[in-house]
Amino acid sequence: MTQNCLELRGVGKSYGSFALRDVDLSVPKGCIMGLVGQNGAGKTTLLKLILNLIARDSGEISVLGMDNRKEEMAIKQRLGVVMDESAFHDFLTPQKVSNIMAGIYPNWDEGQFAGYLQRFGLRPGDLIKNFSRGMKAKLSIAAALSHAPQLLLLDEPTSGLDPVVRDEILDIFAEFIGDGEHSILISSHITSDLERVADYIALLDGGQLIFCEEKDALLYGYSVLKGTREQLERLDRSELIGLRETSFGFDALVERSEENRRRFEGLVFDRCTLEEMVLYFIRGKKR
């Protein structure tokens, strides 16, 4: 029995000017993996490849131990999906969404869906066309969670939500993986959300997977180095992962180690946030 809910091996997709190249990625059971990167880095393309909405040019994709092409329908019965834009027609209501989903998913739980609607403050009879972006996101999340999925694929699910509702949804995601048998792959620009709930972080840039590491190892494995411009002139810049220069000085990303403590003695070492880390890795790649 596989210990991964999702496995990608050598996955590639070319659009001419853009290419996703040789992506190897595994999402273990019982975890949340955050997928980060700039707009156009390939995050949505990767999610669409997993769902077989677009055909891959190379590689293999296994979802819940099944080939995502050969057993696509069986896989989709066990997936919960939230894309960046609402999939529901504006002239539907949440109640009609429930009726439609009950005909698609044998495990559809109308009571659970109604519970999420109440929890999110959505009325079953209101037209979706009158919903805000945040309300549509909440409806999509409620639908994704109400048919006993084993894996959630989420593309910017908390975009447009206020901090209180985002916090509640993150709690729901943490509950979802609590039994060790469920997993989530979530693409998000809100790195503070991922810093709170993710177990792993994968960074895509320019169609390449830059890293996929445990979140805690990343946050505790790197520091932001700060100093004056004069101190920068005495450093070997090749030892810096990413660098930002200002009129007053500089800050850069470096590995947190005793060797670097000695190497950069006299400079300031600060804690690195996930957002800073992503920025520095991208800058370092393009430097």
Q: Which comes out higher in pLDDT, residue 102 or 162?
A: 102
- Report the C-alpha gap between 223 and 257 in whole angstroms: 9
Judged against a pLDDT cut of 90, whether residue 132 lies above it is answered with: no
The pLDDT confidence band at residue 8, using thresholds 50, 70 and 90, is very high
pLDDT value at position 98? 97
- pTM score, whole prediction: 0.91
62 to 53, 72, 96, 187, 198: CA distances (angstroms): 15, 10, 33, 19, 21
Q: What is the mean pLDDT of residues 59-74?
A: 96
The CATH code for residues 4-215 is 3.40.50.300
- For residue 5, give both structure tokens: 């809910």
- Report the C-alpha gap between 51 and 49 in whole angstroms: 5
- Yes or no: say if 12 and 23 are a contact pair by the CB < 8 Å rule: yes
Where do the domains of the chain lie?
Answer: 4-215, 218-286
pLDDT value at position 284? 67
Residues 6+ apart with CB under 8 A from 133: 159, 160
C-alpha distance across the termini of the chain, in Å: 43
Tens-digit pLDDT profile for residues 171-229: 999 999 999 999 999 999 899 999 999 999 999 999 999 999 999 999 999 999 999 99
The pLDDT confidence band at residue 2, using thresholds 50, 70 and 90, is low
Instruction: Give the HSE-up count for residue 241: Cα atoms under 13 Å, Cβ half-sphere.
Output: 19
